[in-house]
Structures are given as structure tokens and as C-alpha cells.
Structure 1
Amino acid sequence: MTQEADVTQGPLTTEAGAPVADNQNSETAGVGGPVLVQDQLLLEKLAHFNRERIPERVVHARGAGAYGTFTVTADVTRYTRAAFLSEVGKETETFLRFSTVAGNLGAADAVRDPRGFALKFYTEEGNYDLVGNNTPVFFIKDAIKFPDFIHTQKRDPYTGSQEADNVWDFWGLSPESTHQVTWLFGDRGIPASYRHMNGYGSHTYQWNNEAGEVFWVKYHFKTDQGIKSLTQAEADRLAGEDPDSHQRDLRESIERGEYPSWTVQVQIMPAAEAAAYRFNPFDLTKVWPHEDYPPIEIGRLELNRNPENIFAEVEQSVFSPAHFVPGIGPSPDKMLQGRLFAYGDAHRYRVGINAGQLPVNRPHATEARTHSRDGHLYDGRHQGAKNYEPNSFGGPFQTDRPLWQPSADFTAGTGDHEAPAHAEDDDFVQAGNLYRLMSEDEKGRLIGNLAGFIAKVSRDDIAERAISNFRRADGHFGKRLEAAVQALRG
């Protein structure tokens, strides 16, 4: 492979490298005459322009990103054999993409919506992707409901707008959403910037050590800048004045040398404790109480370099929770299991089968050695090497050591099973606990935010069902919300 030339200097050329004589005037049949089809520079430019956009992400379309460094600050080798976590002080390059969930590519940043927190570690054992949010929980617990949920957040097929009826109809009929909705409509529902919010792995993941012992973990990224959020009125004004507020803030803070950082913590549960825990520890709508499993600090994440090109490095960046490294693996979390397929499939459709070869996506601390060849925009990197395994020509070979440990013995019959029942598997307990942790001012703002949205629904039964879920979380919560909605609906 030859070294790439500097494409920013020298004479302008066509895509094939021929010098361009005139880039100001198209070729015509005489002065004032019609344009000629032989003007291939014109046709090349227009054809390329028509194809300069790829499909936007179905969710998390609106985003911003930056490169950074993860530094280990505590010894965790008793829990995981992951090489990038192997010693205190070890540094790993990262790329972090922030995003909103429901808005399209041109939407405003300052809106009430969860924020994506997708982190790529460029480790010496391959890329490890940790795909989370700025909330520790989510609206649903089974991936089979995800398309339905997102349809309620997107534009209605008839009106072309997001409809309160659709949103609250689904949430009311899906009581498992009550905890996340309480988060979303509370004071942290609209971060002031990407720098001033926490991030969470949200799902439960497996860590396994050299001895083969298994631990379940949850990741927390606590902002070192402090939590700052916007009220609904502040967000409405900012979204109109500066739709790019979060993206601009992130870029400019790094340009100033004010590098945002997060203290990285994990909660660790020995695998043997999961089956008898008081609720399903793999339920994405639940948090693990800190008194049960206190978070321990393991590292620090700093963002210190902006992308050079947003399209190449932010829009074409791909993340998949299926990208594990030795010592880290999945859990029986049903939402995570669905995402193991869905994320990679989305990127193969959106960016292309060779998206992993793009600079932002390919491994930076090692090389990918696969037998996946050809397809759209394949760059010939394998040259003449054999494309099968096993082979006797010195090709890549298997290690015979799985990345993660078997998590359980499954002997029951196949079927559409609910998750195993635990003593406190309840859709409302944690939402009520969250409400009771709030100050009176925080409760008042939560009630106001919820009531303002519920009051927009057109049917009384949808409004009542929505209120009922919060009433089951906390009687006082439901009573105040009901009164607030009635006042707004008249």
C-alpha cells in the first residue's frame, strides 16, 4: 500500500487525479449555449453531491463526539483480565459520541430526551464499545418492544408530528417505563451540556478474571464538571436561539484546553448472588441500590481532541455492544441481548459492510485480522492473502479461549419466557424511591413537567392510565400529578 498524498495542497483535480483547468464555469456549446454532457467535471461534482449523505441513525441521529484518554486508577485484576484494565496508570485512547435519542439529525440539542453516551476504547486486544445513556435505566426491559417504543417517540404516520397520545398511550400501557419517565421529567431531564451530565453503561455486563471467576458489573461515569441542567423554559429558549448548543459547547471547551472529564466507577456483584437477589439484576428498568453494591472508582476519562471532520468521524462512527474484549462479556439482560444484534445490523445498513475499516472505527492499538473480504468500498487491505481458516499459509488462527465465561446452565424448554421472578420484581418501587429522594422544589418541577405533557393527550383514559402508574409508585406523587393535569385540562 502506498503512502497517501497530502490532499489539501497543490492543484485541484478530478476524483481520478486529473488537474482541473476551470472550476468556475461549466462547458457549453458556445457563449450562452446549453451545457455539454462531455463536461465530466460538472457531472462528477453533481453526482457526488447527490450522494454525500448516508441514512441518519434511526435513533441517536443528533450527536457530537470527541477523542480522549481513559486512565486506570485502581487495581481491578481480581475481577477482570481485560488488558486495558491490567495496571494502575495504564492509558487507552477513546472516542466518545454523545447524542439525543428521538430527534433527527437537524433537531435541537436542548430538548427533554435521554442522551446517548457511546464510548469506544481502542485497546490492544481490539475495540471495546460501551454503549450507554446519561440515565442508569431505560423505558423497557425486552428488545422485542423497542421498535414499538421508538415509533411512539418519532413522528406519527398520519400527522407527521410527535403526538402526546402515542407517547403516553405506550407509557401508560407499559408500566415498566415509570422509573425512567420519572428520571426524564425530573431536574436532570435536560442537561445544560454534554460536559455537565453523568454517563452510564445502563446494562449489566460480565467481567471474568484469569481464574475464570465471573462478576456482574454496572458502569458509572460521574462528571467532574458537576451536574448542570436546564429548566423547560431555559431549554425552550436555548433550542430556538442555538440549536447546536451542546455540540458547540463540547467543541469550544476542548479548543480552549478545558478538557471535560469523568470519574469512572463500577458496581460489582459476584455471579453467585444474582439468582437470589431481591429483584432481577439484569432488568434494565432497575438500578442496583448503592447500599447493596457500592460503586468503586476504577479510572478517569478525559476528552482532549476534537474530530477533524464531523461526517467522517462522528456520523460514520459505529458502536456495537457486541464489541467485547477478553475479560468482558454480555449478561442475560434481554435488552442487551437484542442490541448485540441490532446495533451492528443498523451500521451495516447505514454505513456499509466495511464500516469497520474507516479510521474512526478500526482498531488503533492492534490490527483486525479477519477473513471478511470484498463488498462495498473494500480497500484491498488483505492483498493476496488466503481468505479462509484453517489454512497452511500462515493465516490468522483461533485462540481457543472465549472472551467471556458461560453464565448459566439453561435446561428449560425454549419459548417466549418472561425473566425469572425475584422477590421485589416490581415496576413501581424504584420510581417511588426516586420521587421520595427529591426535595420539595424538585418534586414540584417534576410534577409540572409531567403535567404539561400529559395534559396534551386527547383522551381521558390515556391521561388517567398514565397518572395511575405514578400513583402506584407513590400515592402523594399520583395525587399531586392528577390535580396538576386536571388544572391544565380544565
Structure 2
Amino acid sequence: MADRPKLTTTAGAPWPNNQDSISAGERGPLLMQDYQLIEKLAHQNRERIPERTVHAKGWGAHGVLKITGDISKYTKAKCLQPGAETPMLARFSTVAGELGAADHERDVRGFALKFYTEDGNWDLVGNNTPVFFVRDPIKFPDFIHTQKRHPRTHMRSPTAMWDFWSLSPESLHQVTILMSDRGLPISPMHMNGYGSHTYSFWNDAGERYWIKFHFKTQQGHKHYTNAEAEEIVGKTREGYQEALYNTIEGGDFPRWTMQVQIMPEADAEKTEYNPFDLTKVWPHADYPPIEVGYFELNKNPENYFAEIENAAFSPSNVVPGISWSPDKMLQARIFSYADAHRHRLGTHYESIPVNRPKCPVHHYHRDGEMNVYGGIISGNENAYYEPNSFSGAAEDRSAQEPPLRISGDATRYNHRTYDDYKQVRELFVNVLEDDEKVRLYGNIAGTWGDVPEVICERQLAEFKKVHPDYEAGVRAAWEKIKAEGGYKPNAAPVTDATPQITRGDAADGRPVTEAAE
């Protein structure tokens, strides 16, 4: 006992008895002066912070990024120069599930990386898929509503999901990937990661290149079927956490190969697809992936809450040599992610140790929640504003990136003028094997147990535009479920069976709407 640390109050005073409350006699009431009792109860009421609205359930670890290739002619980022090694944190997550959801659910997985570089933190916040369900951020809150609980039933609603997807053709690419084998990785170590968005590199010469980031698992792709995942969930809801933690704790450190696709700035005006469209990929034949290095996860957090739950990743965090693009979804996330952290963790969320840069930090932000700097952040106690005459932190013009050379008239562009079927067709025809297609059909139809028939038919019409076999396969799987009595449509009435959706623009610039097929 002599070697054990002494229990104290949060203010550091020794505490003599942590077993018994202070009361007025053995059978009398408690006393208000029992500060430690009140402190423990009050603290317990405040031990939870708001969970993330999206990506609430997650698993993470520390590691290192090692650069083995040479892309120095494209970027001045110090952390991407040959031989560079950068400490990092990774967090994987599901999208829809709450904090207590089961790990092994069919869902997109978040793939968030924080690199603690000598020029500040660089956050790359992507998914395990190279595309997403929507391309315009004004639709993102609506999409997330379909993934969360129905306001009346407080249950997940397949009807809401398929209603939204069937009215949003741009979702076909992501839906197909989600419902394929890759929608259920067996663990975080057995899936790829992607920056998903288009980012940019810039070099000392002021040249800009458009970039796609890829992180290819060195453990190999492994996936569960729905039936296999259901069996696992019946035994544990923490399968991903167990796999990641135990793998690293056992010294078997997982790795991912880092690759980039690089597009010259001027090429963005030449491609038949919009290279800034989050629902599209860049064909590898046109822009071959270049190997940059790898990252390894080699240390579990000492305290999950402090290091993973408090971790805040945001696309707003870039460093000189790495920047953004006109990708509309990325532009919105630059604001929304940092704002989510300010709400969830406090105004100065980046002063929390796991988010704190490992390089010197100087700025003029003051006061507010989580202001725990404990030092002179501006460089001088008299310099609490800028500009100033007291040698406070000054701007660094060498970090100024080159201007974006893309411009256009400011208006609400109709994003549904794009071809939302070609790349999905290429995935369906050229990538998916026959047995994968069979599982794809069954995975889709299996979610239609109570979805109104008009919505299912609308979605089938969208599959047919991709390829007749896609529609036929899903329809056959659906008919089989019907024959077995597994289809009982939702009683909720569909009040508008042919909702109007924008398909294109008339010659005079007016939107043209037509009934959704």
C-alpha cells in the first residue's frame, strides 16, 4: 500500500475516506458539506459530451507516416518529402450508428487521419469508399436525416433511405459500393481508405496540381456477408474495437500504402467528367496512382475518451504545399467539421492534447471554452491584437498558396446535368464478379422488407439505367423475398408517387422538371 498514490480531490487535497458519505448519524440525512460526494455525483452527470452527429461510433490508434517515394516536384509539404516521418492518429468509424451501435453493420466507414507535422496539423478526413452519396452539400443534412431515426417511430427507416436514393441518381455509385461486398469489412485493418474529395498540391514554383489520396490496406480486403455479420453482432457489438486493439497490442502493426493520383491544373477543364464531383472517380488509366509511402498504426491510446473521443478532424487543417479544390462538398466540410468540434468540444478544441499541434502555435484567439493554453500564445503578453508594436506573431507570406484559376458566374447550378450512370456501369460490368453481383442483388433486396412498392420500382428503374442485368438481378432477389413472405410494405402512404425532380436546364436557362421515372 505504501507505493500507491494518495487519493485527492480534483483540487489536489488528500481525501481520507472514499467509501462512506458524511451523515447526521447512522440513520440520519446526508450533509451538504460532503464536498467529495457532491463532486463525484456532479462530475458523473457531466462525464458524457455530445456524440458526433455523424461517425459517432469509432475506433482509433496512433502511428507514423513514412515517405518512401518522391513527389517533391508536385508539393512543398515537408511531411511528404522523401524520407520524412510524421507522427499521426487514425480514427475509423461508421456513419449512421450512434455511439452504442454494433460495429459490424453494413455502412460506409469513416477513415480520418491526423498528421502532426512540423508546420502544423494536417487532417485528411475521408471514407473507405472513393465516392459519396451526394455531390452538393445542400443535400447532405437531408441525406443524414435518412440515416438516422424516424422522428415518430424512433427507428431506422429503410423507406427514408431508398426514397432519398431513388430520387437522387447521383447516389447510385456509392449505393452500389455500399451494397457490394466492400460494404461490410471484417475489421478496420481490412479496408482501404480514400481522401474521397479532390485536394490540391502546390510547389515552390507556384504550380498547382489536383490530387486524389488513396490508402491501400496491406492486410488484404476481407469482408463478411450479412449473415456472418449478424452472427458476430449476436456475440459482440465491439468487434472492430476488439480487432484493432488486440492486433496492435499483440505487436502486429497494420499498414496502409499511401498513393496519390495527380492531375495537372489545366486538365480539370478537359475531362468529360467533373473532377471535383464527389460522386465520381478518376480513371486509373488516365491518372495512374503513384506510390508515396505508407502509414503504420503501432500504439493504442492510453485513454480512449481523451485520445479518440476527443479527437477532432477537419478538412480545414492543411499545411503549406497541400490545399483544397472547388469540390463543393469539400468546401462545405471546411466549415462544418470545425464548427461541429466547436459545438461538441468547445471553442478552443484544438488545445485539447490529442488535437494540439506538436509544433509552436501562435495566434490571437482569446477566452472562451477550453482556453487552457497556459502561456502567451501571441508571443508577447502585450500583443493580444494584430497588428501590434510589441513583437507579436506576424504573418508568414511564404505560406501563401497560388490562386485558384477556376472561375464562373455565381448561381445555383443544376448538379443533375451530369451523367450519373456511366461510372456505375463500368463498376458493375468491369469490376464486380458474378458471385459479387449475386450478393449485391440480395443485399439490396434484403433491405426492402417494408419499403413501399412505388419507391422500390423507382429505384429499380434507376438500376436499369445502369444496366438491364442490374435491375433484373435485384428484381429477382426481391421477388424471391416476396414469395417467401418477407415483404410487408410500410403502411405509411406515399403521398406523391411521381415527385418532381430537376433533370436539366432549358435553352433559356430555366430549370426543367419532370416526373421521376
- Of structures 1 and 2, the one with the larger relative CO (CA 8 A, separation 6+) is 1
Of 413, 417, 434, which residue of structure 2 is paired with 1:417?
413
Between the aligned partners of 1:219 and 1:388, the Cα distance in structure 2 is 38
1:262 maps onto 2:256 in alignment: yes
Give the 3 Å change call, closer, same or farther, for CA 403–54 of structure 1 in structure 2: farther
Shift of 1:104: 0.3
Unaligned runs of 5+ in 1: 1-7
Which position in structure 2 is the counterpart of 1:4? none
Which position in structure 1 is the counterpart of 2:495? none
Residues 277-356 of structure 1: pairs in structure 2 closer than 5 A: 277-356=271-350
1:14 maps onto 2:4 in alignment: no
Between the aligned partners of 2:370 and 2:53, the Cα distance in structure 1 is 23
Shift of 1:435: 1.2
Which position in structure 2 is the counterpart of 1:432? 425
CA contact (8 A) 1:132 1:202 kept: yes
CA contact (8 A) 1:94 1:120 kept: yes
CA contact (8 A) 2:383 2:391 kept: no
Residues 87-236 of structure 1: pairs in structure 2 closer than 5 A: 88-236=82-230
TM-score norm. by structure 2 comes to 0.90
Q: CA RMSD in A?
A: 1.4
CA contact (8 A) 1:183 1:189 kept: yes
Which position in structure 1 is the counterpart of 2:396? 399
Which position in structure 1 is the counterpart of 2:490? none
Between the aligned partners of 1:420 and 1:471, the Cα distance in structure 2 is 18
Moved more, 429-438 or 88-97: 429-438
Between the aligned partners of 2:466 and 2:370, the Cα distance in structure 1 is 52
Which position in structure 1 is the counterpart of 2:371? 378
Of 432, 441, 452, which residue of structure 1 is paired with 2:446?
452
Of 220, 238, 247, which residue of structure 1 is paired with 2:241?
247
Letter of the structure 2 residue corresponding to residue 249 of structure 1: A
Shift of 1:487: 2.7
Between the aligned partners of 1:114 and 1:75, the Cα distance in structure 2 is 32
Letter of the structure 2 residue corresponding to residue 470 of structure 1: F
Which position in structure 2 is the counterpart of 1:387? 384
Which position in structure 1 is the counterpart of 2:455? 462
Shift of 1:385: 4.8
Moved more, 468-477 or 151-160: 468-477
CA contact (8 A) 2:60 2:308 kept: yes
CA contact (8 A) 1:206 1:404 kept: no
Between the aligned partners of 2:79 and 2:334, the Cα distance in structure 1 is 22
Between the aligned partners of 2:179 and 2:398, the Cα distance in structure 1 is 45
CA contact (8 A) 2:216 2:258 kept: yes
CA contact (8 A) 1:127 1:363 kept: yes
1:24 maps onto 2:19 in alignment: yes
CA contact (8 A) 1:28 1:36 kept: yes
**Alignment partner of 1:135: what SS?**
coil
Which position in structure 2 is the counterpart of 1:80? 75
Shift of 1:198: 0.4
Between the aligned partners of 1:380 and 1:258, the Cα distance in structure 2 is 37
Which position in structure 2 is the counterpart of 1:41? 36
Letter of the structure 1 residue corresponding to residue 391 of structure 2: G
Of 24, 43, 53, which residue of structure 2 is paired with 1:58?
53
**Alignment partner of 1:274: what SS?**
helix
1:472 maps onto 2:465 in alignment: yes
Shift of 1:63: 0.3
Give the 3 Å change call, closer, same or farther, for CA 95–389 of structure 1 in structure 2: same
Shift of 1:430: 1.2
Between the aligned partners of 2:221 and 2:143, the Cα distance in structure 1 is 28
**Alignment partner of 2:190: what SS?**
coil
Between the aligned partners of 1:394 and 1:419, the Cα distance in structure 2 is 49
CA contact (8 A) 1:116 1:134 kept: yes
Which position in structure 1 is the counterpart of 2:437? 443
Which position in structure 1 is the counterpart of 2:496? none
Letter of the structure 1 residue corresponding to residue 116 of structure 2: Y
> Deviations for 1:348-378, whole angstroms, at most 9, x for unmatched residues?
00010111011110112x1221111111231
Shift of 1:396: 0.6
CA contact (8 A) 2:65 2:293 kept: yes
Letter of the structure 2 residue corresponding to residue 374 of structure 1: D
CA contact (8 A) 1:238 1:245 kept: yes
Between the aligned partners of 1:20 and 1:371, the Cα distance in structure 2 is 40
Task: Give identity over the alignment, percent.
Answer: 53
Unaligned runs of 5+ in 2: 484-517
**Alignment partner of 1:273: what SS?**
helix
